[in-house]
Amino acid sequence: MQSAFYAPRHFQPPRQPDKAHFDSQLPFSRNLKTHLKFPTFTNSLRAPLHFEPGEEEREVRKDSSPPGGPNSLVRLPVVVTRSSEVSRYVWDGTCLRLVSFGGVGGGGRAAAPFCLDDLGGGARRAARVCGAAVRDFFLPKQVSSNYVKYVKWKFLHRVFSSALQVLATQAMFRAIGIGYSRSLPSAAALNWVLKDGLGRLSRCIYTASLASAFDTNLKRVRFSTSVLFSLSVGLELLTPTFPQYFLLLASIANIAKQISLACYLATGSAVHRSFAIADNLGEVSAKAQIQSVCFDNVGLALAALLNMLFKNNQRLLAALLFAVYPIFTAIDLLGIYQGLKHVHLQTLTKGRLEIILNNWIDFGCVPLPAEVSNEEGIDIFNVKGKRVWPVRIGCLGTKVKIPELSMMTMRSISSKDYYFICLESYSRLNQSEKQNILVCLREGAATSDIIAGLLQACYVRKTLLKNRTFWDRSLDSYASDAISKEWFRVTEDSRERAKKDLPMVSEQISAAGWAVKNVLLSTEEQLRYSFVDD
């Protein structure tokens, strides 16, 4: 039960009535101990704080108002919020009551009193109670506004994914019965255990190799592994068609499933944290488990229904699975994709920080997590990393061509610098050589140094894009004194601007709701250099 205080905007304390008025309104005041009743309470549900008097209050007012005293009902400044309605304590002159007011949405119909002689009001109240109980069962109390949309798409994903898993498992059992009808049951059990062992081993290897990607590229990794999971279900559906290759198909499918499961478990806490606005991560995680169990049971019922409809014709059922598989898979992946679009992560990564800083440079403000999430998207094919003059965090590689300007930049750094900006060349398949803007971080660099370095790199890129033709031609040739002076002028100007804007940028990032304590970097982005003063 939560309580809230409600009072008018201009509150005036009630005047003290004289003795005659007091006696006329409250005749029992002369013998208070004999007339005052013990307070009685009535149940209610939650509603908005801005409400109109409901039927229950009007009934209380009508029953309790003596002749000539229609305003004897006293509203107390205590409102009780519970479930889906709001009730308020009132004093009717004889007892203390908890009166329920309008329903959810503000200005709606007033809550009818729950009594035996009013079946219509009782039915409405029972419906509100049941609806509130269902919401409380499935949804946490304090989450962000986009959580309900996420759960709707999750329902679609879990139902059809669960149905596909049931049908795939049934197909594998049928494949074992066909392929090993003349062999010992222990041989089939050995193959089953072997495929599970290979899958778990692959899961460990995958988790160890992509540990940092679960934070920096959460949506992309999660969706790509979901596609992998759907393909694994397709392989399991093929096992009855090729029973002699059961172990091979089942092992490959289980490896893909274990990889997808590892990603789901690794990213689940970050997804739940993005919705928990009151540090109620445990509650959000618990409700997520309840949702998964209930939604999976609906998918199980859907698969059972298909089996019941075609139980007399197994061949038709086997053929139907291949027709159902692409439809169910498409709906499953659609639910995952749309659900991830409603996940607004507040942690800072290099990609999100770059979007924030570019928006600051162009518009002078820091976007909210929801706005960055919409611009970031899932980016399955990493299209956003193929822009002109991309910014990278890390160290200069030895397998690429290092421009002469980078060497001159490294010679100019001092012991006071915790990062420096330089250029590096890179080439893709069937593409000409291009240039990167590289931010090299020093050991001991703080979060403010990372933000300052990336902000300076964004300023440098904006300057280079204004005169792109000149810089493309100059960097491909020998670095003359004029080009070197121009490069150092650009880097020095951008450093001064970044240093000037850093306090304001940091303040706005924190005010926008971002977690500014750390910047999550991938394994390559975590490489640092050490300064040696020879």
32 has pLDDT over 50: no
**Euclidean distance between CA atoms 497 and 407, whole angstroms:** 24
CB 296 within 8 A of CB 290: no
**Euclidean distance between CA atoms 167 and 303, whole angstroms:** 7
**Euclidean distance between CA atoms 278 and 257, whole angstroms:** 34
Which is more confidently placed, 357 or 483? 357
118 has pLDDT over 80: no
Mean pLDDT of the 231-245 span: 91
* Residues 495-527: tens digit of each pLDDT: 999 999 999 999 999 999 999 999 999 988 999
34 has pLDDT over 50: no
CB 38 within 8 A of CB 113: no
Q: What is the pLDDT of residue 176?
A: 77
Provide the token pair at 375: 């611009």
Ranked by mean pLDDT, the top range of 92-101, 181-190, 240-249 is: 240-249
Tokens 């089953």 label which residue? 192
Q: What is the pLDDT of residue 83?
A: 59
The torsion angles phi and psi of 347, rounded to 5 degrees, stand at -75, 150
DSSP state of 113: P
In terms of C-beta density within 10 A (0-12 exposed, 13-18 middle, 19 or more buried), how is residue 7 classed?
Answer: exposed
- Domains with residue ranges and CATH for the chain: 137-342 (1.20.1250), 347-529 (no CATH)
CB 392 within 8 A of CB 384: no
Q: Please state the separation of Cα 415 from the chain's center in Å.
A: 41
55 has pLDDT over 90: no
pLDDT above 90: percentage of residues in the chain: 43
Q: With cut-offs at 50, 70 and 90, classify the pLDDT of residue 432.
A: low
Closest CA to 458 of 427, 502, 418, 426: 502
DSSP state of 276: B
Q: Is the dihedral of CA 170, 173, 178, 181 positive or negative?
A: negative
End-to-end CA distance of the chain: 68
| pTM as predicted | 0.76
Q: From start to end of 380-514, where are the E strands?
A: 391-393, 419-426, 434-442
Which is more confidently placed, 155 or 241? 155
Q: Which of 8-12, 61-65, 412-416, 488-492 has the lowest mean pLDDT?
A: 8-12
Closest CA to 68 of 28, 112, 113, 21: 21
**Euclidean distance between CA atoms 162 and 224, whole angstroms:** 18
Sheet holding 85-91, edge to edge: 2-4, 74-82, 85-91, 96-100
66 has pLDDT over 80: no
Q: With cut-offs at 50, 70 and 90, classify the pLDDT of residue 183.
A: very low
**Euclidean distance between CA atoms 220 and 349, whole angstroms:** 14
**Euclidean distance between CA atoms 313 and 310, whole angstroms:** 5
**Euclidean distance between CA atoms 399 and 396, whole angstroms:** 9
Tokens 């004093």 label which residue? 91
Q: Please state the separation of Cα 502 from the chain's center in Å.
A: 28
> Between the CA of residue 137 and those of 141, 214, 277, 288, what are the distances in Å?
10, 30, 19, 11
Mean pLDDT of the 452-481 span: 85
Q: What is the pLDDT of residue 212?
A: 67
CB 342 within 8 A of CB 367: no
Q: With cut-offs at 50, 70 and 90, classify the pLDDT of residue 194.
A: low
**Euclidean distance between CA atoms 350 and 456, whole angstroms:** 14
In sequence order, the 6+-apart residues with CB closer than 8 A to the CB of 312 are none
pLDDT above 70: percentage of residues in the chain: 74
**Euclidean distance between CA atoms 532 and 411, whole angstroms:** 11
Q: Report which secondary-structure segment, H or E, holds 135.
A: helix 119-138
The torsion angles phi and psi of 437, rounded to 5 degrees, stand at -100, 120
Provide the token pair at 340: 């991830």
DSSP state of 529: E
Tokens 């540990």 label which residue? 211
Closest CA to 89 of 44, 25, 121, 33: 44
β pairing state of 85-91 and 96-100: antiparallel
**Euclidean distance between CA atoms 137 and 128, whole angstroms:** 14
